[in-house]
Every structure is written in structure tokens, then in C-alpha cells.
């Protein structure tokens, strides 16, 4: 006997409960477990579920990069270190691009910060 609806549901995931979900090889957790608890099970979970976790974090926080806050007591020192590191990278990039004027300007700025 011909089933009238047999072709209708072809290609649809009608019974998602029966679908086998990917599990972490190390701890056995699934992405659904992450969605329920907000936590991954181990370090390998971060690699295995990187793409969907990235999307979730962007959706929740608007970004997936942690920026954190700098403690007031250490703020000046940390900000200075970050600026020095950024200047060193910028100088290296300017030299690599053979933009020696920009490199010299950045170097002067670096010298002023180091004092």
C-alpha cells in the first residue's frame, strides 16, 4: 500500500531527539550540555565546539573577545605596559612596510613613555 505522506517528510528532521549528537571524546559532554549549563566539560570541548560556542558568545555578548576591566590599583601600570607593547608592534610593522618616518615617530613616542 502506498503511504501518501512518505515523500512529504523526506529531508526534514522530524524526530530530532533520535539524532545522534556529537560528544567530546575526552569528557563525553555535548553542545546541548553547554547550552543547558553554560559550561564546557574540558579543554577539548573548546576545540570541538569552537564554532557554535563562538556564535553563542557573539549572540549573548555582542563580541567573543574578552576585554575585562583593569583594577584601579594597577590600572596605570597595566595601561602603560599595553601601550608600550602596542607601540613596539606598530614600530615593527612600520619598519617591515619600510615606512621609516612613521617608525621614527612611534619610536619617539615610545621613548617618551619609557622616560
Asked which of 3-7, 54-58, 59-63, 95-99 is least confident by mean pLDDT, the reply is 3-7
Domain residues of the chain, as ranges?
A: 19-61, 72-114
Question: Is the torsion defined by CA of 4, 6, 9, 10 positive or negative?
Answer: negative
- What does the pLDDT look like over 6-28, one tens digit per residue? 555 455 444 454 457 888 999 99
pTM: predicted TM-score of the whole model, two decimal places: 0.40
Whole-angstrom CA distances from 51 to 45, 72, 99 are 11, 35, 38
Amino acid at each position: 500500500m502506498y503511504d501518501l505522506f512518505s515523500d512529504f517528510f523526506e529531508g526534514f528532521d522530524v524526530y530530532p531527539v533520535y539524532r545522534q549528537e556529537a560528544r567530546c571524546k575526552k569528557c563525553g559532554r555535548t553542545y546541548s550540555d553547554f547550552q543547558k549549563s553554560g559550561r564546557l566539560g574540558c579543554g577539548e570541548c573548546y576545540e570541538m565546539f569552537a564554532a557554535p560556542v563562538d556564535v553563542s558568545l557573539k549572540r549573548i555578548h555582542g563580541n567573543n573577545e574578552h576585554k575585562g576591566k583593569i583594577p584601579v590599583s594597577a590600572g596605570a601600570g597595566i595601561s602603560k605596559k599595553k601601550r608600550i607593547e602596542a607601540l613596539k608592534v606598530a614600530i615593527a610593522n612600520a619598519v617591515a612596510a619600510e615606512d621609516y618616518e612613521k617608525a621614527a615617530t612611534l619610536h619617539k613616542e615610545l621613548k617618551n613613555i619609557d622616560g
